[in-house]
Amino acid sequence: MSELDFAYGDDDGDDDGDDYGDDYSDDSDYDGDYDDPDDGDSPLPKTAVYSGTGSFKDDRELTEVTFVQGVTSIGEGAFEGCSSLMAITIPDGVTSIKKGAFYRCSSLTAITIPDGVTTIGYGAFNGCSSLTAITIPDGVTKIGMYAFYRCSSLTAITIPIGVTTICESAFQVCSSLTAITIPDGVTTIGNNAFGGCSSLTAISIPDGVTSIGNGAFMSCWSLTAITIPDGMMMIGVDAFRGCSSLTAITIPDGVTSIGAWAFYECSSLTTITIPDRVTSIGARAFRGCVALTKLILSPAVSIGEDCFSNCTALITAAAEKNMPTVEAFLHYRWHRNVAVTERVNALLCLKGTWDHVEDPPSGQDSLKRKRTDEDEGEEEDEGGLEEDASSSSSSSSSSSSSSSLSSSSSSSSSSSSDEAPLRLTATREKIPKVLWRVILEFL
């Protein structure tokens, strides 16, 4: 999978020129001198005294910090870009770590946060790529946006029970994080909160969480198992996109909406059941789930465009009556027999390129088929072909042409066509141009 681009933003909406959600690598704004690592000389340790005001921004020689007694907060951008700072102990009197306080402290390996801290601000430790572990104090209730963004060496973190909110991108691209426990008090998991945590193998979401933010676990490539609580109501856009090791997932009965691209390219997912209360599945939600063999859908669900495209292993799709499936299986490759076991309103299937097969509206007895492929040498019938779907049981249900559409009905279907389930089978014909034969049969 290609590298994904993530959106960055400012939590206070002010365009102040400082975006601690970004990961800058350009050092062109630095006007000072620093030692060339190849000149054979090592810089002398540099110690600074921090009084709670001012900033040591981009002081690349700073290695140690001491604090004046009485300091209660680490100010905005206080140690931003101090790339030689390796360890720091924050004194007990500090209660807040503000926006971007340690942003891009790329050599920082250890930091002690006192119990009195209640606020970890926006991008506070963003880009601390050498930080391996951190303990968040019990008094913290919210982990700010981008707080630990791109802490790529972070392998373990303890979130206290008092935390209720994990904000947007709080742990995004913590690519070495293998496990994390989300405490029961958490009710909100923000957009991209754990996106790009490619070493994360398992996670359990507490009962109080009712929605999973957009991209919350996107590109967690090592994630094999996840527990979703019964109280969950919504799975956001891109929520599990690219979780290529996820083999199974149980969607709780309370879920009503699955966002677009939610399980896109979950290439190890084999079976999934959509609860009865789900009313909408977004576009491309399961696209590229190449291992998916069985799909159980809820009644009257609205399915977005291209929802199950490229699910090349799908054998059975069971659905309730009148399930709209327009374009749901676009780009589906019918390389084996497939059964849609209940009545559907519309279905796209492949014949050369695409055919559109529509179930007749209530009160009508015709099936319409529109050819959309342009095979060389073939002529298209304008407006499609119409055939009688309620013909007597003696009518022929097959055709000598591999591109023809056939239908037949039993005596029971003629009396109640609206109740009759629709069965679709597709078989590949070994003929030039890899044409396909589709048989529609009212049971």
Confidence at residue 156, expressed as pLDDT on a 0 to 100 scale = 85
Confidence at residue 302, expressed as pLDDT on a 0 to 100 scale = 84
Asked if residues 226 and 202 have their Cβ atoms less than 8 Å apart, the reply is yes
- Is 50 exceeded by the pLDDT of residue 373? no
Mean pLDDT (the chain, rounded) = 71
Confidence at residue 61, expressed as pLDDT on a 0 to 100 scale = 92
Distances from the Cα of 320 to the Cαs of 118, 324, 341, 348, in angstroms?
Answer: 51, 10, 9, 18
Handedness of CA 333, 336, 341, 342 (dihedral sign): positive
Q: Which of 305, 301, 420 is nearest to 367 (CA)?
A: 420
- Is 70 exceeded by the pLDDT of residue 57? yes
- Is 90 exceeded by the pLDDT of residue 351? no
Confidence at residue 376, expressed as pLDDT on a 0 to 100 scale = 39
CATH 3.40.640.10 is the classification of domain 178-333: no
Query: pLDDT tens across 122-141, in order?
Result: 999 999 999 998 889 999 99
Confidence at residue 114, expressed as pLDDT on a 0 to 100 scale = 92
Percent of the chain that is helix, strand, coil (3-state, to 5) = 0, 20, 75
Give the contacts of 373 (CB within 8 A, at least 6 positions apart): 351, 352, 353, 354, 355
Long-range CB contact pairs, 102-106, < 8 A, 24+: 102/74, 102/78, 102/128, 103/20, 103/77, 103/127, 104/24, 104/80, 104/128, 105/79, 105/80, 105/81, 106/130
Residue 131 CA to residue 283 CA, distance in Å, equals 39
DSSP character for 433? G
- Is 80 exceeded by the pLDDT of residue 265? yes
DSSP character for 434? G
Confidence at residue 45, expressed as pLDDT on a 0 to 100 scale = 67
Residue 196 CA to residue 318 CA, distance in Å, equals 33
Per-residue pLDDT band for 21 (boundaries 50, 70, 90) equals low
Asked if residues 389 and 410 have their Cβ atoms less than 8 Å apart, the reply is no
Residue 31 CA to residue 283 CA, distance in Å, equals 49
Confidence at residue 299, expressed as pLDDT on a 0 to 100 scale = 67
Averaged pLDDT for residues 200-213: 90
Q: By percentage, how much of the chain surpasses pLDDT 90?
A: 45
Where in the chain are all domains bearing CATH 3.80.10.10? 178-333
Residue spans of beta strands (DSSP E) within 169-283: 188-189, 202-204, 211-212, 225-227, 234-235, 257-258, 271-273, 280-281
Q: At 307, phi and psi to the nearest 5? A: -60, -40
Confidence at residue 301, expressed as pLDDT on a 0 to 100 scale = 82
Confidence at residue 312, expressed as pLDDT on a 0 to 100 scale = 84
Q: Which two tokens stand for residue 92?
A: 């007990």
Give the residue, 32 or 151, on which the prediction is more confident.
151
Averaged pLDDT for residues 254-261: 94
Confidence at residue 131, expressed as pLDDT on a 0 to 100 scale = 95
Q: By percentage, how much of the chain surpasses pLDDT 70?
A: 61
Residue 259 CA to residue 282 CA, distance in Å, equals 5
Residue 409 CA to residue 423 CA, distance in Å, equals 12
Asked if residues 48 and 25 have their Cβ atoms less than 8 Å apart, the reply is no
Q: Which of 81-85, 90-94, 285-289, 306-310 has the lowest mean pLDDT?
A: 306-310
